[in-house]
Structure 1
């Protein structure tokens, strides 16, 4: 009998795993040879048969050299933001040594003794620092094969002693680099929209920063689950650092396209809120992470968003008689709440709630 055929009490199993505070890694450490039913996804969500476009056309994820000719960089970013919603950047100013130590630090934390990690385990989203498995553990139809550490780094940083020793020093250093890079990227994106260079930064798009450390253990049944389900990010912009394992895919013209790891590069993707304020000029990237039998895979996404009560709607300068506003204004907090609800509805974007 397969794991998908076993009758089980999902709520009870979710609670039992949550109470171990050991996450997915705890299951692997226990020596499981089959994934529990609560991680089994519907076959249509895990299929990779559509990962290549028709006729096997070669599609390459844009790689943008930030030290290139300024006008060319703007044009490349505009093209990527309007089509893929995702691109890679090189010559971004963050030393390779810092990036590699950040990845190593996340791995050290997730591979700490459980007694150390348990101190950070929480499902309270108001906590600035925390660790758990699956943000939407009790909402989703199937759990993802992933554990996550999270930390709010701006507008106010946590105290040093609140951050795990495993990556305490490098996290603050890396986050400072990311804050600076975020300001630069929002300047370039502003220009790509035909706005003044400081427009998006003046809107506080770069004000808030949340850093996550994902840990995807090797999976005994990778064809049955996902490392991260299909989603777009409920933020303005995401900057992603990942190791060499790979597995990230972006949805492009209804097909899943692999995003190959590139050493020294960072992945940048447009978030839902930037799609909203750009009035659909820029596209939020729908993406997922496939599960693998190798690993662990480590990734460090940094989300630019803040939770003040400021309303965000389509930018006035982008509105005209030929391009009317497409969305109602919304606070980031309300948008995130709808994002969590939409996670229960396969294929539905939280953006749909705010369309006019």
Structure 2
């Protein structure tokens, strides 16, 4: 645990190996801005006369920004608050309890890390501690999750089930907006689910470092729960804009796999996480991803003579290899370039 930021930081000193190059630093853009509002969509209107309007709002957000927020989504506020409390309590556990969960086993269903899983290979570290938890098959994974706090497994299991239902619903709404058959993504393309929880301790100088750098997700879609502390930013029109946290809302990100499956009709929005000097922040991110051997290609219903495929077909494990290479070389162009026609 000695490498974990929360174990050694005094909130006053920022080590040199956490200071990003000038062109990557957040600078003064460390708080939510008001010059662009991330679409906030009311899913409660889906059962009424505004159904088609809601579907259009989702599709438009996916095309223009690659992200949106949803409320009235069917996940109880009580459950969201309980999950936030469990995650907060987890990071406040004694170091000896958390140390037992640190592993180098790549196949582990639960692992803690600081910065990234490639910490020892990094020159510059991220200002975060985190854990990654596999959630499928759920019944097989739960015994590998932390036994502390006492209700962790019970609450996070319920939370995962409900957000999974929401994710499948959103995927069907995307299908409707694209004009492809309902349930198109409710198969191997979305059956591997992982939860990543980020803890960003109070930072001595948020203008010089990042919690998570600029990136797009390796998922079909990603559903993120923020707390009350701002920190998520989305790249829009060559500038970073903040996503104001709404306690009862989820942020939905379009991932790289959805951009490919939609034949480029939907955008894999770039985003990052900044830190702050006053309060620690946490976020819980559920990734809806294909299984490793799942075959990925643009949906045939979207391919015509006028709209030929932009990407070749491939197995998801090929994409994961490209993703790891792009991350190691810090070259985001390598995420999709190997699959473009």
User: Structure 1, residues 301-320: CA drift from partner, whole Å, max 9, x if none?
Assistant: 00001333121011111111
Q: Select the residue among 40, 43, 47 that pairs with 1:66.
A: 43
Partners of 2:108 and 2:291 lie apart in 1 by 13
**Could you say which residue in structure 1 is the equivalent of 2:119?**
137
Partners of 2:137 and 2:319 lie apart in 1 by 19
User: In the alignment, is residue 163 of structure 1 matched against residue 142 of structure 2?
Assistant: no
Partners of 2:104 and 2:311 lie apart in 1 by 31
Q: TM-score, normalised by structure 1?
A: 0.88
User: Structure 1, residues 225-262: CA drift from partner, whole Å, max 9, x if none?
Assistant: 10111100001000000101111100112111111101
User: Structure 1, residues 113-159: CA drift from partner, whole Å, max 9, x if none?
Assistant: 11000111124331111111123324444211111111111234445
Q: Select the residue among 293, 297, 300 that pairs with 1:309.
A: 293
User: In the alignment, is residue 227 of structure 1 matched against residue 211 of structure 2?
Assistant: yes
**Could you say which residue in structure 2 is the equivalent of 1:210?**
194
**Could you say which residue in structure 2 is the equivalent of 1:80?**
61
Greater CA drift, 212-221 or 78-87: 212-221
Gaps of 5+ in 2: none
Gaps of 5+ in 1: 1-19
Contact 1:152/1:158 (CA < 8 Å) preserved in 2? Answer: no
Partners of 2:222 and 2:51 lie apart in 1 by 22
User: Structure 1, residues 147-199: CA drift from partner, whole Å, max 9, x if none?
Assistant: 11111112344454422222222110100101111110110011111111221
- CA gap 1:273/1:160 in 2 versus in 1, 3 angstroms: closer
Partners of 2:17 and 2:34 lie apart in 1 by 36
Partners of 2:142 and 2:93 lie apart in 1 by 19
Partners of 1:113 and 1:50 lie apart in 2 by 34
Q: Select the residue among 109, 133, 138 that pairs with 1:151.
A: 133
**Could you say which residue in structure 2 is the equivalent of 1:354?**
339
User: In the alignment, is residue 262 of structure 1 matched against residue 246 of structure 2?
Assistant: yes
RMSD: 2.0
**How far apart are 1:24 and its partner, in Å?**
1.2
Partners of 2:309 and 2:117 lie apart in 1 by 32
Q: Select the residue among 250, 271, 288 that pairs with 2:255.
A: 271
Q: Give matches, 1:31-180, under 5 Å.
A: 31=10, 33-48=12-27, 58-68=35-45, 69-133=50-114, 134-164=116-146, 165-166=148-149, 167-180=152-165
Contact 1:89/1:266 (CA < 8 Å) preserved in 2? Answer: yes
User: In the alignment, is residue 322 of structure 1 matched against residue 306 of structure 2?
Assistant: yes
Q: Give matches, 1:172-191, under 5 Å.
A: 172-191=157-176
Partners of 1:114 and 1:323 lie apart in 2 by 55
Q: Select the residue among 236, 254, 259 that pairs with 2:220.
A: 236
- CA gap 1:51/1:21 in 2 versus in 1, 3 angstroms: closer
Q: Select the residue among 254, 268, 276 that pairs with 1:292.
A: 276
**How far apart are 1:58 and its partner, in Å?**
2.9
- CA gap 1:352/1:140 in 2 versus in 1, 3 angstroms: farther
Contact 1:132/1:147 (CA < 8 Å) preserved in 2? Answer: yes
Structure 2 residue matching 1:186: 3-state secondary structure: helix
Contact 1:154/1:207 (CA < 8 Å) preserved in 2? Answer: yes
- CA gap 1:186/1:309 in 2 versus in 1, 3 angstroms: same
- CA gap 1:158/1:217 in 2 versus in 1, 3 angstroms: farther
